């Protein structure tokens, strides 16, 4: 049998690890043990936002799912439109404005109390059940961890405190600092500036398919934590791998670092 070269071995390692729970979506050659030094997380692979939308159903019985779908779509649309037009508002304001729009569109009475109740739910987010153990495992592997999110510092700090994750992240980076949003390349550049590492030394863990595409386009090795089991976005770029939760991410990282 002919000996395997490093490229072939890495391909087999990733394929084998896919059988343990994640899907390899494109080659990840050159991202082995000597390369990946830090993992960047979007906020929502770590923090579970489902309680916000469960609350919407509680406040608007039978209409909560409809409200949530419009709200989430407009939430990101408003962010990007504000950024592109040069009239920046932060994640909190874009989220509140999109909630108001969604309620008006669906002809739902959004009282000041309900509006505040729904918005304040973003300050009560907690980690997904698998997140704390996965983060601790990655730290034990010697990896440096950070959050890189469009959410405001107030939301991110609350999520960390609510989840008892203080000290787990070397940097907690909000794109609010530079008044833009991912997938603006300047947003992804913030992590390079904070750590002083190269693109090749990062792995980005995305929650949304568009964010996975943005990070991959920027040049990061990218893992899509596809908790909602959504189809891949048709944006002309593919993340390196995907899985259902952070346990799958840990398996992927360990496979890479064994090469």
Backbone angles phi, psi at 117, to 5 degrees: -60, -45
With H, G, I as helix, E, B as strand and everything else as coil, classify residue 131. Answer: helix
With H, G, I as helix, E, B as strand and everything else as coil, classify residue 239. Answer: coil
Distances (CA, A) of 71 to 26, 51, 144, 159: 32, 14, 34, 21
CA pair distance 173, 169, nearest whole angstrom: 10
Distances (CA, A) of 83 to 72, 159, 175: 17, 25, 11
Active site residue 42: yes
Nearest to 239, CA basis, from 201, 258, 197, 211: 211
Residues designated catalytic: 42
């Amino acid at each position: 049998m002919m000996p395997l070269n490093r490229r072939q071995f890495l391909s087999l390692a990733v394929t084998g690890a896919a059988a343990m729970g994640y899907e390899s979506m494109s080659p990840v050659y050159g991202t082995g043990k000597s390369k990946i030094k830090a993992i960047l997380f979007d906020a929502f692979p770590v923090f579970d936002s489902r309680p916000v939308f469960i609350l919407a159903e509680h406040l608007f019985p039978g209409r909560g799912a409809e409200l949530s779908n419009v709200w989430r779509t407009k939430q990101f649309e408003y962010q990007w439109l504000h950024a592109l037009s040069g009239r920046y508002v932060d994640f909190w304001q874009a989220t509140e404005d999109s909630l108001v729009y969604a309620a008006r569109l669906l002809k739902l009475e959004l009282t000041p109390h309900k509006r505040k109740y729904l918005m304040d739910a973003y300050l009560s987010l907690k980690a997904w059940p698998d997140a704390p153990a996965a983060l601790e495992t990655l730290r034990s592997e010697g990896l440096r961890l950070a959050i890189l999110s469009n959410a405001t510092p107030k939301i991110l700090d609350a999520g960390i405190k609510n989840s008892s994750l203080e000290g787990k992240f070397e940097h907690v980076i909000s794109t609010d600092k530079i008044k833009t949003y991912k997938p603006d390349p300047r947003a992804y550049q913030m992590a390079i500036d904070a750590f002083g590492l190269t693109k090749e030394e990062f792995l980005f863990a995305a929650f949304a398919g568009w964010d996975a595409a943005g990070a991959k386009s920027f040049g990061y090795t990218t893992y899509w934590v596809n908790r909602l089991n959504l189809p891949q976005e048709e944006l002309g770029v593919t993340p390196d791998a995907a899985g259902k939760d952070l346990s799958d991410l840990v398996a992927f990282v360990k496979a890479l670092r064994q090469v």
